[in-house]
A and B are shown apart, each in its own frame.
Chain A
Amino acid sequence: MVSKRFVLKRLLLLVPVLFGVATLVFAILHLSPGDPAKVIAGQRASQAQVEAVRQDLGLTRPIWVQYLDFLTDVLVLNLGESYIVQRGVPVLTVLRARLPVTLELAIFGQLIGILVGIPLGVISAVKQDTATDHFARVGALTGISMPIYWSGPLLILLFAQFLGVLPASGRIGSAFDVPVYTGLITLDSFVYGLTTGGWDAFASAASHMLLPAAVIGIYGTALISRMMRSSMLEVIRQDYMRTARAKGQGAKITVMKHGFQNALIPVITVIGIQFGTLLGGAVLTETVFGIGGIGTLLVQAIEVGDYPLVQGTVLVFAFLFTLVNLGVDLTYSYLDPRIDQ
């Protein structure tokens, strides 16, 4: 089982990882061309004005001083203020507003992937080499091969433009102004519905979530079902499965009780890794569907040279990714007590 010592050790390992990421991002940003002061001051500013802004931002200090300041600030969770994208606003505040947007997308996408992918994989394995199996496998291959910037617009074209049943972009209709509790719009509008009895906002938020979640989910479904199928096939051939059948246990019970849990272990790994990829995939999905999560935020910040914002966003990405991995490792030992941490 999971020992506290193991968790603590893994958490401590976060420190060098984040330090490395922070250093890398800082170096890349400051070595690449472009001057945020020029962007802030604008095309009409005189050289003196640009210089004043540079001074103000502390960009005139030696690079190693800036680096040390940056590191010490990060230690006390001070990620600085955004230069341009949201001028003068602390990076943590910016991220607090945007992170839930991306997380919500990733969670719903993941849910679709798990809820559809796992049963599909199991069925595919149990009915190996039948028409159902072939169909599922071709479907999975198609799903993996479809890039988001292609499937996204296609779904918008079909459901929003031709059929007109789902909205093309955004997270909720512009008539709705739902109070922010968690930042997860479906949850917030649900709470809003509970408290006011007006469910239109929730319906709007849910319908806005369908297409982007489906787009993210397609890839997840494909990946998970493939993994589930091959892992299940492997387990089915194990001796203990045959033994279970031999002692007279029904096929269904054998598969579900003895096979499923054991087959799940590699799938969990994929789901964990997949979650990190989802965060990356969210960048594309957010762009296509006009959703302002940290993906679009990062791209925008890179384009204009908003150093503190880029640094902050990448650090948060790295942090989340490592955390998810830790979660995956902990799940292993739950599923297979033989795995000793």
Chain B
Amino acid sequence: MPRDDTVNRRTFLKAAGGAAAGAALAGCAADPDETTTGSGGANGSGGEETTTGGEGETTTGSEDGGSGGSGQVLTWARGNDSGTLDPQNTTSGEDVKVTNQMYEQLVMFEPGKTSLRAGLAKDYTLEGQQTTVTLREGVTFHNGEEFTAEDVVATYRRFVDEDYEYYPGDSYVSAYGPFTLGNWIENVETNGDYELTMQMTQKYAPFLRNLAMFAASILSKKAIQEKGQDLSKEPVGTGPFAFDSWDTSNQRIRLTRNEEYWGEGASVGQVVFTAIGSNTTRAQTLDSGDADIIDGIGAQASKIIENSSSARLNQADGINVGYMAFNMAKVEEFRDKKVRQAVSYAINTKAIVDTIFKGIAKQASQPIPSNVMGYNDSLSPYPHDPEKAQSLLDEAGVSDFSFELATFKNPRTYNPSPLQAAQTVKSNLSEVGIEVTINQQSFNPFLDYTSAGKHDACFLGWMTDNADPDNFFYALLHPQVDVPDGQDWVSFDTDGYNTLNSAGWANADYMSLVEEAQTTYEEGARRSNYEEAAKIAHDEAPWVFMDHARELRGVHSRVEGFTLAPIGGPFLANVGLSN
């Protein structure tokens, strides 16, 4: 066969094969709906929903799993593997599910509730600008070291102190450092091995709740010194489970029961976290008995579980909010309250929540859900009322109005079908003569887009960090900069602007209520401030309040004692397996 001929044919075949492989890849990448779990942060103690994956180190385990009693293996299946095992190295809820089994905080959340309980601190008080903590004695880390006040200091300094010898670097530590501790703590002083005083930069009511966040997990000083950044794959905590192995090729993290645990200790011998990308496959795996608990459940997966004879669906109210923000800094029409209200009336949020989100969410009327302190019972969601919307628009003198609605493409817990929801908004608003164009993006450039204030209006949402009202009211709707007098919005370019406030809203009354509540320790007074702030937010409508999503878990019938915790969990030490 002539040489040229063979080369040509091969070249052609290569190109054809390459194109086929490329097409297959492209086809997969273009269909993310099925694979995205939208479940990050689902286990509560905050964390953003960034999807992350496995870890490089391939570990070789040794033990063979058995069955019965202490050899029982509890399998938790989720959408993605962890990216890191260091609570100071992550912003992802997916990572937190695992670290919460191995690490503990000074103060902790009650399983399944939003209230606090003693953790590694036996006693804790917040008075004025000072927090005093008495530590539990007789607690040991997984490396055998005894837990003392020095560990707390080392933990704090490693997270926020650039001058600390063992500070792991700016791009290693997460933004939670300053957000949780650094901004509020002036210094930490020890008084013996079991007493600590934290001097604060200001009075700050949510502080104890910050201490209960995953980011405030207590690390071992010795481990900090010995391991540095390796803590991201070799965690050392005090929790009921200790790290065993991380098998990245199987996307599987294995933890074993901590026999030296100071508390009651875990029921099962091992916990395995495993990743299954497809929601439906995950549900089928649960149904066939190869997983015990699963999260990241969409409408289709929940149907599989509901129809299953071997598994059940657990539900609880989540601590989150989904909304559509008006960018008042960019779009002049939105600076008129009547226009914002008109849009709120025009959009059928009830239909979005009931039919598009398929009932796994509740309609929202204010920034916080009902399980957070300060929820205002007297407010109800804006009803769908196109006529009222039209008359408000007429009053405002707005006609021929159009804007761009920016949205992320993939489902998120607080917005499980963003594109369909956006389509509904578009058709609802066309009924009142407002033209909407939809700008859909991946979450990654989307966050950039909205935090730079480039959107006219956008879908967004929030999963709580610490179940404190301040974590919604101040974090999402307070500009955190000075505002020109008589103006109720502020430009995104202002130095130090809180870019999480995607509405650019800056209502003076609201701001002073929220600021006051931040420094009020008396709960009744604080609550009424938030109730009032919620009313202002509702009436002023900087957002279209959309929904509070419910948390869903699929649980196999052999699982006992599992409490769905919207924050601080999952509490797997309490979970047992029947044979």
Contacts and interface: CB of A to CB of B under 8 A. Distances in A.
B25 A169 contact: no
Interface stretch (B144-152, B250-258, B313-321): B250-258
A126 interface: no
Interface residues of A, number: 98
Nearest to B450: A43
A288 B171 CA distance: 34
A146 B73 CA distance: 37
- Most chain B beta-carbon contacts within 10 A, residue among A41, A56, A167, A177: A177
Nearest to B276: A290
B13 A269 contact: yes
B25 A283 contact: yes
B53 A288 contact: no
Contacts of B272: 174
B579 interface: no
Nearest to A305: B444
A304 B73 CA distance: 32
A168 B311 CA distance: 15
Interface in A274-331: 274, 276-277, 279-281, 283-284, 286-290, 292, 295-305, 317, 321-322, 325, 329
B13 A288 contact: no
Nearest to B272: A174
A86 B53 contact: yes
Contact of B17 (A97, A179, A196, A273): A273
A134 interface: no
Contact of B6 (A286, A288, A339): A339
B28 A299 contact: yes
A279 B21 contact: yes
A292 B73 contact: no
B14 interface: yes
A172 interface: yes
B172 A168 contact: no
B75 A97 contact: no
A185 B251 CA distance: 13
A160 B288 contact: yes
Contacts of B526: none
A173 B75 CA distance: 10
Interface stretch (B63-71, B112-120, B379-387, B508-516): B63-71
B442 interface: yes
B170 A56 contact: yes
Contacts of B51: 300, 303-304
B269 to A, nearest CB: 10
Contact of A38 (B20, B52, B245, B448): B448
B58 interface: yes
Interface string A228-272: 000000000000000000000000000000000000000001001
A326 to B, nearest CB: 10
Q: Secondary structure of the A side of the interface?
A: helix
A119 interface: no
A304 B475 CA distance: 24
Contacts of B442: 34, 303
B321 to A, nearest CB: 14
Interface stretch (B83-91, B234-242, B334-342, B565-573): B83-91
B499 A47 contact: yes
Contacts of A198: 64
Contact of A168 (B13, B53, B252, B281): B281
A290 B75 CA distance: 14
Contacts of A273: 13-14, 16-17, 20
Contacts of A33: 441, 445, 448
Interface in A44-73: 44-47, 49, 52-53, 56-57
B287 A170 contact: no
A177 B62 contact: yes
Contacts of A49: 170, 175, 178
A101 interface: yes
Most buried by A among B56, B57, B66, B245: B56
A40 interface: yes
A177 B288 contact: no
A229 to B, nearest CB: 19
A178 B61 contact: yes
Interface stretch (A88-96, A109-117, A135-143): A88-96
A84 interface: yes
A292 B249 contact: yes
B276 A169 contact: yes
Contacts of B16: 273
A339 B1 contact: yes
Contacts of A88: 84, 172, 229, 232
A269 B6 CA distance: 12
A174 B62 CA distance: 13
Contact of A57 (B63, B171, B282, B465): B171
B288 A174 contact: no
B4 to A, nearest CB: 12
Interface in B41-85: 48, 50-67, 73, 75, 77, 80-81, 83-84
Nearest to A32: B445
B274 A170 contact: yes
A97 B451 CA distance: 36
Nearest to B310: A164
A290 B176 contact: no
B20 A277 contact: yes
- Looking at B17, B23, B57, B247, which has the most chain A CB atoms within 10 Å of its CB? B17
Given A169-B290, A170-B274, A325-B10, A45 B280 contact: no
Contacts of A161: 284, 287-288
22 contacts: A38-B447, A41-B175, A44-B179, A46-B175, A84-B53, A86-B55, A86-B248, A97-B249, A161-B287, A170-B250, A170-B285, A178-B61, A273-B13, A273-B20, A274-B17, A276-B17, A276-B18, A277-B21, A287-B35, A290-B77, A304-B52, A321-B18
The 4 closest A-B CB pairs, nearest first, are A175-B65, A290-B276, A89-B56, A42-B91
Interface of A: 33-36, 38-47, 49, 52-53, 56-57, 82, 84-90, 93-94, 96-98, 100-101, 149, 153, 156-157, 160-161, 164, 167-180, 183, 185, 196, 198, 200-201, 269, 272-274, 276-277, 279-281, 283-284, 286-290, 292, 295-305, 317, 321-322, 325, 329, 332, 338-340
Given A175-B66, A288-B281, 11 more contacts: A35-B448, A42-B48, A84-B53, A94-B248, A98-B249, A156-B284, A175-B67, A273-B20, A292-B248, A303-B444, A325-B13
